[in-house]
Structure 1
Amino acid sequence: MSDAIVTPEDAADAARRLLEANVNERVNAVREVAEAANDADAKERDAAAARDRHTRAWDAALKAGWSDKELRQTGARAPGAATAKRRTRRPASAPMTTTESE
């Protein structure tokens, strides 16, 4: 216990500072969520526009006389086709060593 005398006003001020810090922290968390959601929405709109452009370009190439097979042979990915996934190598596990103890 402390021998210092705390006035009710000082205690209330300290409590207010603690509460305000908590409120500010929580409000900032909500602000971050809103910014992240807006960023995600913008990226999703951009991705949708890119997919539409890809489809239109593919269709234009077909109208220009290319076949699906020919376009794929050029390395172009058809709209809606999955992108090639990069394979990552797993690190080789360390060889197991055994020790003999008597």
Structure 2
Amino acid sequence: MDIVTPADLGTLVRNSRRERGLTQADLADLAYISRDTVIRIEQGHPRIEIGKALAALAALELALASTSSPHVGGPQQASLAVLDSVFAALHQGD
């Protein structure tokens, strides 16, 4: 699954949590974040702190990785553009 938006990240976290039979409270405990933060991540809230999102991914044994894509400017530039858009969406309004 490509993670391009905060909603994509939320879908990934929610589906992975459910596949593992975890509640939102369980994931919060494993990731050392609040249940409210888990809810906001799963809802695709655009202002989640990147460290908290990464903690949730790590607790689910997932990682955010950069891959090449067929955008103009080459694979590295495209990957950075995708990551930039995700980070911008996550920190929108800060």
The two structures have a TM-score, normalised by structure 2, of 0.28
Structure ranking higher on relative contact order (CA contacts 8 Å, 6+ apart): 2
Larger Rg: 1
